Structure 1
Amino acid sequence: MEPQVCLKRKREPSPTPESSKRVKETDGNRVPESEHRSGSRAPRLSLPFDRLQEPVTLKDLTELLQFAALGNTGGLKQPSWCRLHRQKNVSGVSVILLEGLSQAHFYRHYLHFKHLRTKYTSRHSYTPSPGNVISEIFSSEVVNNSPADALGDQKSAQPEGGLQWHPVIRKFGLETRGLTGYLLTQEEMINKHFPVRGMPGSEGFVCTDSDDCVTDSSPLYGLDCEMCLTERGNELTRISLVDSRGSCVLDELVKPPNRILHYLTQFSGITRAMLQPITTTLREVQSKLKKVLPRDAVLVGHSLENDLRALNLIHPHVIDTSLLYRREFGRRFKLKVLAETVLKKQIQTEERKGHDPTEDAQAALELAQYFIHTGPRQVVELYCEELWGGSPTMYQPPVNRATSTHNNNNSSLRFSEALKSSGQSAVFIGKRADNTLDLSNQQWHSSDREVLSSFKRGLDSHSFSVVQLSSFSDHLKAMISTDHHYHTV
């Protein structure tokens, strides 16, 4: 994707007709001559000669965004790869993510991009990031260089070992608790894209017959599903459910209602021959699940939101092992890694063709049971080096959000936190995304037209905006899937 950055200029006290117009600048090293003649004080970028042909990385982009939003008053230095002139005149920053659109598309259809040609006078290649760009922007670390030593006081008060700053301990604390202490809240489920009653994208989903509340003695059930690729996307082909003893209580192959494009046998283990005689439908499986699960059941899985979405099922009480053994910045361990390290079990081996959902459901269940029984402190102490790659001393205390960014010395916090503590309003507009913003700062829409309309309405309401346009990317994926089908069937 090619991110486009807009810097909104502060209005001058006594504007002239020329200087009062909105000026938008991106990663360019020149401004129009008319602006020089009018004495414009618009912010602009300049690059050293040796960087003009260099692609911009995600690290470069976040450096620029942080300085543009927080600047010298926030204790930040100029970006290492460019210089932002008149940063004090920046009243807001907008980042537009055009998924799937590259410079090759831009130059191939150059005449159709009149707005981009005139508003963005200089363009640079962007090196795609393997992770989630939105999450990386908001969770990027902001290093503060101002003279105060507030963080030093926090470090001096930190007990030896720094265990409490580990991501698991920061979330769950040091004390062992019952299973209800590890249930996802409704807000966490929404943030992690679980199907939730009344939320966009969950229309038509079936709800289990569940009690409003569960207890520490409620039964755990491990769940895992396998999917294949159809004309409508990923659809269910197999489901496995195990009870709290690890015994399989449901293992069903399922016939997708839409034409299958790819069986994904390498991962699912499902083949054409296996599904050919199957007549079981998704609706039948949903009905069986509702009968098997008691009203106070707690479902356990690894990245369980994908399984529940494949099942078109809403269940309010869940534990996700990828979020129990949590990592920094939204990253997740693979189930295979956790099973091998914690349970000393080999699953998803290369000798086997595809995953065994019963085996995966049992592994997730055992991982949850072990975590609940052992407690977060001992889990971290036992596996900190093997799983998280270091001792607890490597984890540093987070900065107090109530402390302003300009009151810390070489302190660090996430960009979203720095924006909030400096009194700036940030917003994400687009499809559901896993990022560090509060839910109140996220606006989810199903089409680019709705995204653009929402962005225009709130243009002056937020000082930092990230806008995701994805219809072009969806179109490309559909074309690739269709083309792949024609070449493989």
Structure 2
Amino acid sequence: MKRKSNAGHGPAKRLKGREIGADENGQCGPRMSVLPEHLQHPITAKELMELLHYAALPGITGIKQPSWCSVDGQQHVEGVNVVLVEGVTQRDFYKHYMTFRRLRSNYTSRVTFTPSTPSTSNLLSGIFSSDVATLDGSCVGPVERGSSKLHKVLTTHPVVTKFGTRRHGLTAYLLPQEEMIKGHYPVKGMPGFEEFVCTHSDDVVTDASPLFGLDCEMCLTVRGYEVTRVSLVDCQGTCMLDRLVKPDNKILDYITQFSGITAAMLQPVRTKLGDVQAELKRLLPRDAVLVGHSINSDLMALKLIHPHVIDTSRLYRREFGQRFKLKVLAEIVLQRRIQTEERTGHDPAEDALAALELAQYFIRRGPLQVLEDHLEQLWGLTLQEESTHSESEPSSRFAEVLQRLGRSVCYVGKRCDVALHLANQQWLHSDKEVAASFRRLGKVPFFSVLHMSPLSKRSQDLPAKLDHEVKTWVAGLCVYVLLTACVVVLQASTPLGDMCMLFAGPFPVGYPEREVRRLFRCCGRVRRVKMLNRTHRVRFGGVPPSLHANRSRFMQVHALVEFKLLEGAALALQTLNGIQVQGHTLKVQRPVNESTLDLDVTLNALMSDVLNTRRLYATRLEPLLARSISAKRSEHAPDAEHSELNDCTPLAAETYELSEETLVQRFGRFGAVERVFAKAKPGRRARYACIQFASPEGRHAALRSLEELWRENFLVCPALTPPHMTSWLADDDREHVTPTVLEVQMEHTMEKLDRRLGKVFMSLPEGTLSVVLLLPRPSAPNSSPGLCFLDFKQKVIKPRGEERKCESELI
């Protein structure tokens, strides 16, 4: 997909949902972006419903547009998928940031989420039962599928949503090539089918083309399942072909109870698979349509490619891709018993004829009439409730509006009180089953909600169990060895507090805390400063201490500085390390412990985050401090009058003020500036700013011009803090201590969660709005807020490796 840039600085990549591609027909896909003024404001469940309603109901007049984000290309939305992850908070995501590789790269919008209700079940039910605002008559639905005269049980049935209600010719029920590829039917030109034989079939098939029923029986050989009997019947029910086939490989199991084949039957047979393939090519006309029940397995066994097929297991459809057995369909629809227990094995000619007649019946009667004839016997549904609700006004509940429009709706997750018909729900016990079941669906529902809970009750009880075990085994050294090994293997995730912490010193004795804060706040907002004083004794070489009346003592003063934003710590480490403070050369460094072993990797990943690839963090130094840092950078001896920080009295504010006009003027030469974030307290000037360019090339150009910006007293670095966060530090982060063994399990759990969320995202069709909600547990006290990931699935163009490498060297 080709994307256009409006910045004039080379091809822009797709970021924050701003750029959008077009398909081969020139049609643009859907896109969304969070409005800048709402980036740092949490969204509520009500605001999320606004987006879901607007995206899932394109073309319906009167639907309220979301107040906190913009959606373009609404008419091209192919579906909406919502995944609720219970028990994982915003802090958990950033604590295990490197683990969530797929989650952070698949979504270009990320906002804080605060549910209005503490119960996840209430939120789930509210998604389906929320009222759609300002609905009018156009919400009744399409003329064909959503007619007000049609019972809602029928409008939402998978047969109607797939084929409509009117009768069509046989061409309407042919499997499209895309569905054949997805269902692993033999298709010419696809890998794995190079040795398959193609029939003599025309590309054009009409409603008058002949139907042929096909069925095979197989046995198990050393090379897998191979065909042992083939039957073909024509549209009149005449058996045209019924052959026993000798497999090429040694037979391990005849599977007689199903195939009806025995060793005695195959003993005199000389017919091989190639003979049957040649006979089928001779018998089938060029416009033939093959009919079978799960006919893909028959074609695979025959190693035959035929482009025009009707699969009766996909005609008589069920919810969530489930299929009826041929025996059940024949007994209920055709009033005929096949595959009876009195007979050993199946008769392929009988099965082929049953499949053929089922297809003919479906084509002749039409989808709606088939449903009305066998709705209760096959699908277990009745239309009795129609009489009680036929005169009432249509409901404005979200799920019912979607179903009236003929759009499929489903819920997959653990058993929950959801305002949705039981036929549209799948109750499962584990997250693994939820992801696997959703991916196995024959067709992804238009609106789907998945509920995952990776932290099971067993995981919640683990801290208490672990505490008991530690107390029991505390006398043994094995516990210490085990915990130490876990730390080494895991290289524990970086706590949020340690990411923003720096140690600096030595400072002169008596150097006040307020001056340290004043020095470091030139790089970013300082959360707290703690002075660290230590007294050292000095021994003179070669002279016993007893000869001295007083031992010499001196004091070293250091400071622990915690920034609110990670950019402040990165800039302070880059610029303040090595400067002179009243004759003392400062050394600025990060803490070194097991929690910061992989900090550099995390910083590089944050810098390349899709939310930050167009953003630049900037501050402007006071001229006096800039001269001192310049002396350090040039590695010349500083002039005491100009370089030492004996007096940090600020100059006129206008000389280094950060205003939106100034920043747009100064940074606009690198590329089009989309927005400037420069917050300040009322009555005070802004000290720090975030510049967002229209394309990543603007940021790259600014980073390549660091020396030019430095001459103007600007300090810049790639943005590291996501736009929705105001601080990297949580108030309770320092108090939240997790046992090491539990941390190992948490890391493994988060990795599995990320892998499953990635698989769900990959299974969605392009143009689907994907939403992932991380929700804290209602019972968890003082838990951090949730997090919402949003994006339309489209083809993503990743940044070039050279650009990433260039930026990573700046941190």
Same fold per TM (> 0.5)? Answer: yes
CA contact (8 A) 1:179 1:372 kept: yes
2:126 aligned residue: 145
1:166-315 aligned at under 5 Å gives the runs 166-315=157-306
How far residue 203 of structure 1 moved from its aligned partner, in angstroms, is: 2.0
State the distance in 2 between where 1:78 and 1:186 align: 35
State the distance in 1 between where 2:401 and 2:301 align: 39
State the distance in 2 between where 1:165 and 1:151 align: 22
Distance change >3 Å, CA 258–CA 213, structure 1 → 2: same
For the aligned residue pairs, the C-alpha RMSD in angstroms reads 3.9
- SS of aligned partner of 1:198: coil
Distance change >3 Å, CA 437–CA 232, structure 1 → 2: farther
- SS of aligned partner of 1:344: coil
Is 1:386 equivalent to 2:368 in the alignment? no
Distance change >3 Å, CA 331–CA 87, structure 1 → 2: farther
How far residue 161 of structure 1 moved from its aligned partner, in angstroms, is: 1.5
CA contact (8 A) 1:223 1:299 kept: yes
How far residue 328 of structure 1 moved from its aligned partner, in angstroms, is: 1.0
TM-score by structure 2 length? 0.35
2:302 maps to a residue whose letter is L
Q: 1:319-345: per-residue Cα shift (whole Å, max 9, x none)?
A: 010000011111100000000000000
How far residue 210 of structure 1 moved from its aligned partner, in angstroms, is: 0.1
State the distance in 2 between where 1:178 and 1:220 align: 12
Distance change >3 Å, CA 390–CA 227, structure 1 → 2: same
Structure 1 vs Structure 2: percent identity of aligned residues?
Answer: 55
Q: 1:167-205: per-residue Cα shift (whole Å, max 9, x none)?
A: 101100010000111111001111111100111221210
State the distance in 2 between where 1:391 and 1:381 align: 9
1:330 to 321, 345, 349: 321
- SS of aligned partner of 2:248: coil
1:113 aligned residue: none
2:193 maps to a residue whose letter is S
Is 1:466 equivalent to 2:759 in the alignment? yes
Is 1:84 equivalent to 2:66 in the alignment? no
Q: 1:429-460: per-residue Cα shift (whole Å, max 9, x none)?
A: 9xx9665469xxxxxxxxxxxxxxxxxxxxx9
- SS of aligned partner of 1:150: coil
2:478 aligned residue: none
2:58 aligned residue: none
2:333 maps to a residue whose letter is V
Distance change >3 Å, CA 77–CA 190, structure 1 → 2: closer
Q: 1:25-50: per-residue Cα shift (whole Å, max 9, x none)?
A: xxxxxxxxxxxxxxxxxxxxxxxxxx
2:132 maps to a residue whose letter is A
1:40-79 aligned at under 5 Å gives the runs 79=86
1:86 maps to a residue whose letter is Q
Distance change >3 Å, CA 397–CA 354, structure 1 → 2: farther
CA contact (8 A) 1:298 1:319 kept: yes
2:151 maps to a residue whose letter is G
Distance change >3 Å, CA 87–CA 258, structure 1 → 2: farther
How many equivalent pairs are there? Answer: 307
1:359 aligned residue: 350
How far residue 410 of structure 1 moved from its aligned partner, in angstroms, is: 5.4
1:225 maps to a residue whose letter is C
Distance change >3 Å, CA 377–CA 151, structure 1 → 2: farther
2:24 aligned residue: none
State the distance in 2 between where 1:259 and 1:188 align: 34
Distance change >3 Å, CA 88–CA 376, structure 1 → 2: farther
- SS of aligned partner of 1:346: coil
1:269 maps to a residue whose letter is G
1:5 aligned residue: none
| Unaligned residue ranges in structure 1 (runs of 5+) | 1-73, 96-141, 416-427, 439-459, 468-489
CA contact (8 A) 1:165 1:396 kept: no
2:545 aligned residue: none
State the distance in 2 between where 1:237 and 1:263 align: 9
Q: 1:99-145: per-residue Cα shift (whole Å, max 9, x none)?
A: xxxxxxxxxxxxxxxxxxxxxxxxxxxxxxxxxxxxxxxxxxx9452
CA contact (8 A) 1:93 1:465 kept: no
2:681 aligned residue: none
Distance change >3 Å, CA 213–CA 278, structure 1 → 2: same
2:335 aligned residue: 344
- SS of aligned partner of 2:240: strand
- SS of aligned partner of 2:352: helix
